[in-house]
């Protein structure tokens, strides 16, 4: 039997947000590869080998998956959310560069954090929007600042992944300053932590009241556009611009 790789999105956390397509891949796998907390979400069973690894070793992990598939294993590389959004799919294709042959590869989409968060909040991404990874591990900080200013000028709603981590305590504070300057103090900003898990926490404030401590590694942050508003407990961005 020939090996394959599926790069699968486990969604934000809840079991009922995992697609049947991903469930079927997990059921057919011999090996699960991924970041420790994501591999921990996969149910163990006899014959299934788990290969949890630490953060920031995405390329090593992708190469390991390719080697196992070449040896005939059926490998699922797990990501949280969707594998194509700041996750393992790109890393796998980077690892493919320069290789002579490739196994069968499928990318299996999942519910990405910003859309799970948006659903819980209302519909803050209901008009044109952008998604920006605020980590400067893999790109210069100046590029992040440039993108924030251009996205504000375009009046995009914005979803921010990886807003804050222990290794970058200052970055998100600077992001909030730039956004206040570019979007004004009244703009709505939502902090959605651990959506669909028992630790879920949602909070929406005006930019003037936003502080860096409102975000951590499990938070996705959503900034409204200039028309984003509240109705009852909800936050939404109208579909139309007059």
Applying the rule CB under 8 A, the residues between 4 and 33 that interact with its own copies are 11, 14-21, 24
Minimum CB distance to its own copies, residue 121 (Å): 8
With 0-12 CB in 10 A as exposed, 13-18 as middle and 19+ as buried, what is 241? Answer: exposed
Nearest approach in angstroms of CB 96 to its own copies is 5
Binder of its own copies out of 41, 53, 63, 133 (CB under 8 A): 133
User: Least distance from C-beta 161 to its own copies, angstroms?
Assistant: 9
For residue 51, list its beta bridge partners.
33
Using the minimum distance from each CB to its own copies, give the nearer residue, 94 or 201: 94
115 scored as a contact of its own copies (CB under 8 A)? yes
Query: Of residues 94, 104, 181, 213, which one binds its own copies by CB under 8 A?
Result: 94
Any contact of residue 151 with its own copies (CB under 8 A)?
yes
CB 31, min distance to its own copies, A: 20
Complex with its own copies: residue 217 or 241, whichever CB lies closer = 241
Closer CB to its own copies, 9 or 176, in the complex: 9
Note whether 140 binds its own copies by CB under 8 A.
yes
Question: What is the distance between the alpha carbons of residues 112 and 45, in angstroms, rounded to a whole number?
Answer: 26
Nearer to its own copies, 34 or 126 (CB): 126
> Looking only at residues 196 through 235 of this chain, which bind its own copies when binding is defined by CB under 8 A?
231-232, 234
3-state secondary structure of 146: helix
HEC string of the chain?
A: CCCEEEEEECECCCHHHCCHHHHHHHHHCCEEEEEHHHHCCCCCCCCCEEEEECCCCHHHHHHHHHHHHHCCCEEEEEECECCCCCCHHHHHHHHHCCCCCCCEEEEECCCCHHHHHHHHHEECCCCCEEEEECCCCCCCHHHHHHHHHHHHHCCCEEEEECCCECCECCHHHHHHHHHHHHHCCCCEEEEEECCCCCCCEEEEEEHHHCCHHHCCCCEEEEECCCCCEEECCEEECCCCCC
Interacting positions 95-114 with its own copies (CB under 8 A): 96-97, 102, 105, 107-112
List the interface residues with its own copies, window 46-75 (CB under 8 A): 58
Nearer to its own copies, 73 or 127 (CB): 127
Nearer to its own copies, 48 or 119 (CB): 119
Residue 194 contacts its own copies per CB under 8 A: no
**Is 21 or 67 the residue whose CB approaches its own copies more closely?**
21
**Rounded-to-integer distance, Cα 64 and Cα 21, Å:** 23
């Amino acid at each position: 039997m020939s090996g394959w790789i599926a790069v699968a999105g486990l969604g934000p956390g809840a079991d009922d947000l995992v697609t049947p397509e991903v469930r079927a891949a997990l059921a057919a796998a011999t090996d699960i590869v991924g970041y420790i907390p994501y591999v921990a979400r996969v149910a163990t069973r006899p014959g299934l080998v788990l290969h949890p690894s630490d953060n920031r070793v995405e390329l090593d992990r992708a190469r390991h998956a390719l080697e196992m598939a070449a040896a005939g294993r059926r490998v699922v590389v797990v990501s949280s959310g969707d594998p194509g959004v700041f996750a393992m799919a790109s890393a796998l294709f980077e690892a493919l560069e320069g290789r002579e042959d490739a196994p069968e590869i499928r990318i299996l989409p999942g519910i990405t954090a910003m859309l799970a968060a948006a659903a819980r909040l209302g519909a803050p991404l209901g008009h044109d929007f952008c998604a920006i990874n605020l980590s400067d591990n893999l790109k210069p900080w100046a590029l992040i600042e440039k993108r924030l200013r251009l996205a504000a000028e375009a009046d995009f709603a914005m979803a921010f992944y990886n807003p804050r981590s222990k290794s970058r305590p200052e970055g998100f504070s600077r992001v909030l300053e730039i956004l206040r300057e570019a979007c004004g103090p009244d703009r709505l900003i939502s902090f959605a932590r651990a959506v669909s898990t028992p630790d879920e926490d949602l909070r929406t404030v005006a930019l003037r009241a936003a502080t860096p401590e409102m975000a951590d590694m499990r938070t996705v942050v959503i900034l409204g556009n200039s028309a984003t508003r509240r109705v009852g407990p909800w936050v939404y961005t109208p579909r139309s611009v007059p």
